[in-house]
Structure 1
């Protein structure tokens, strides 16, 4: 699934994002609204990881759908 599809189905997908990244709050997920860059930024912020790693995790997440 590409990010346009994820963005369109975000209300259904965000539960899976919450499972994968437990440190993301419901407010975080509401702000993200399926936008890849927002998700990468929040993963980076909450987990204290490098941007490249956060991007890899986001891409791995999107490839599961």
Structure 2
């Protein structure tokens, strides 16, 4: 899928999020990377083979009441 040099990480690489953006829709909360990964605003991912990667953002610690 990636046509530039050096090529981007594949969709199964641990660093797949480092691939270049091909389509970006921040108003809809998603971006398409050149390796075919759909990256969502909440850091979840949809891989080209249909596998889902759960969101992995770091949440701030809860504030004690």
TM-score bracket, normalised by the shorter chain, equals under 0.3
Q: TM-score normalised to the size of structure 2?
A: 0.27
Bigger RCO (CA 8 Å, 6+ sep): 1
Which structure features the higher share of helix residues?
A: 1
The structure with the larger Rg is 2
Which structure features the higher share of strand residues?
A: 2
Q: TM-score normalised to the size of structure 1?
A: 0.27
